[in-house]
Structure 1
């Protein structure tokens, strides 16, 4: 990619550093979309031994680019995102990707299509990791940042995305167990009158 075009693409991606998500970090600040994307990419690397038949380079690319549309729209939590929001984000992203030089535009268009269809192993792994990372981050944040609906989401969100894999199902169960412990500790503190 020509240096000028690279700088233009990076300027768009940089917006994800300031695009905050609904979740908080363990340190108490809002998580950025860039941080979420980085960590699911790291997760893809760390689970690669569980999926020797998967194209890990393709999977990591999916993880890196999956939320680039939020550079244009910001993050809207899944429980608030409407079909109209999804269409707007997809349209803005498609327009931007079309302007990228070959071969990046073609590859990214193909990856986004594959991710949307979720028929390949890599696309299914990516989507499961995307959901799981959000749940893990909630477990790492202070429970005071959770909204009431998240107590149920921590038990159910992403369950359907992991069913294809015994390993990811086990990971989902561990995350759910962590959520149960966190909720139980919060209730115990409340019963003791602690804040």
Structure 2
């Protein structure tokens, strides 16, 4: 049992590195860029508040666990900007996921790795919901910080809507509301339309 405690605490200390992974978006009202640990925390809380509105019934613990795990691979791979052509890097991220989950006791590590893969494949109701929530937060942040990352990276309103339409699979009404906000706020902020 003691070796399990050692493995679990080693995993948690390894995750400290996620706090150094800088994203391309600034927290609302701050001049610095957010880190991936902050992102994971915030989307987990958003998911908890939105689970009652999910398109399909989902297991809350499974969703939250997926969201807390989904970006740990960035410790090894770094954050990839959502609008870059090479955003999806499953093979390298899987290597990172295997390395990180192998620190844990075997059965727990396998469970976490399976949940990470399930999130990436986005086929279960929980993974579909979690993927949608993962896309909502950066949109909300941009809507409340002058569209900072969209303007800095010359992202169009059309690109924002196309990249984030997966939110509709989690909750169509939420996506309708968010996409309307994008059209109004982004246009006002000077984000180009196409």
SS across alignment from 1:137: helix
| 8 Å Cα contact 2:23-2:79 kept in structure 1 | yes
| 8 Å Cα contact 1:37-1:64 kept in structure 2 | yes
Match of 1:18 in 2: 20
Based on CA coordinates, which of the two structures has the bigger radius of gyration?
1
Is 1:111 aligned to 2:115, yes or no? yes
CA offset digits 1:108-152 (Å, max 9, x no partner): 122123223322110110111111112112212233542212433
Match of 2:154 in 1: 148
Match of 1:185 in 2: 188
Is 1:102 aligned to 2:135, yes or no? no
Aligned CA distance change for structure 1 residues 144 and 99 (closer, same or farther; 3 Å): closer
Q: Which runs of 5+ in 2 are unaligned?
A: none
CA offset digits 1:72-107 (Å, max 9, x no partner): 121011222627844222212212212321331121
TM-score by length of 2: 0.83
| 8 Å Cα contact 1:28-1:142 kept in structure 2 | no
- Aligned residue pairs: how many? 184
Q: CA deviation at 1:12?
A: 1.9
Match of 1:55 in 2: 59
Q: Which runs of 5+ in 1 are unaligned?
A: 188-195
| 8 Å Cα contact 2:63-2:126 kept in structure 1 | yes
Aligned CA distance change for structure 1 residues 177 and 122 (closer, same or farther; 3 Å): same
Is 1:164 aligned to 2:169, yes or no? yes
Greater CA drift, 52-61 or 82-91: 82-91
Aligned CA distance change for structure 1 residues 158 and 186 (closer, same or farther; 3 Å): closer
SS across alignment from 2:57: coil
- Tell me, in whole angstroms, the C-alpha distance in 2 between the residues paired with 1:141 and 1:84: 26
